[in-house]
């Protein structure tokens, strides 16, 4: 039977920052659309100042405002999305390649992430978990270098 998570905020700081970012972008998009629609409706009302029907111009203005808001907010949302996902996907890729190197016995140093990256808690846990493997790889590397001479000499021979 699968266990269900009762705590939806497993990493509250990160999850709330990401949610606040997307909420801010959504609100900014709505505000931009409102301001553009209001401005265009004012221009349309001036065009029909003689007492004509405002329904047709208002529909056209609202549609123009919508497409303009989409054209402006889409690159902004995509740029924020790339930046935010990079801070997650980059460390995930780094941790994956690091674990592969530890499993192959190549990596003996602790894992480190860039400043500002997310998943630092996971990186710390990976370091604690892989410490015995890295120590074993380092000891076998030291044993082979003392038994047969330095690794570079063995490779040259």
Q: Are 2 and 39 in contact (CB under 8 A)?
A: no
Q: Please spell the DSSP secondary structure of 83-142, one letter per residue.
A: HHHHHHHHHHHHHHHHHHHHHTT---SPP---TT-S-HHHHHHHHHHHHHHHHHHHHHHH
The residues spanned by each domain of the chain are: 25-47+54-156
Residue 51: its pLDDT value, please? 58
What is the tens place of the pLDDT at every residue in 83-92? 777 778 788 8
Q: What is the pLDDT of residue 75?
A: 86
Question: In this predicted model, what pLDDT tens digit does every residue of 122-145 receive, in sequence order?
Answer: 999 999 999 998 888 888 877 776
- Report whether pLDDT(152) > 50: no
- Per residue in 29-41, pLDDT (tens digit) is 888 888 888 787 7
- Rounded CA-CA distance 29/76 in Å is 10
Residues 34-51 have a mean pLDDT of 74
pTM attached to this predicted model: 0.56
Concatenated DSSP letters of 38-82: HHHHHHHHHHTTTT---HHHHHHHHHHHHHHHHHHHHHHHHHHHH
Q: Kindly tell me if the per-residue pLDDT of 3 is higher than 70.
A: no
């Amino acid at each position: 039977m699968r266990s269900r998570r009762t705590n939806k905020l497993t990493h509250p700081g990160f999850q709330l920052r990401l949610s606040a970012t997307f909420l801010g972008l959504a609100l900014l998009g709505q505000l931009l659309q409102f301001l553009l629609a209001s401005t265009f409706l004012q221009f349309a009302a001036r065009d029909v100042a003689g007492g004509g029907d405002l329904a047709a111009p208002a529909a056209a203005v609202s549609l123009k405002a919508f497409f303009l808001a989409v054209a402006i907010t889409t690159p902004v949302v995509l740029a924020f999305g790339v930046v935010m996902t990079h801070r997650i996907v980059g460390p995930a890729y780094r941790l994956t390649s690091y674990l592969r190197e530890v499993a192959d016995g190549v990596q003996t140093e602790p894992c480190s992430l860039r400043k500002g990256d997310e998943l630092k808690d996971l990186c710390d846990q990976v370091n604690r978990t892989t410490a015995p493997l890295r120590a074993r790889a380092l000891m076998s590397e030291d044993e082979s270098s003392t038994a047969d001479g330095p690794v570079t000499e063995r490779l040259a021979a």
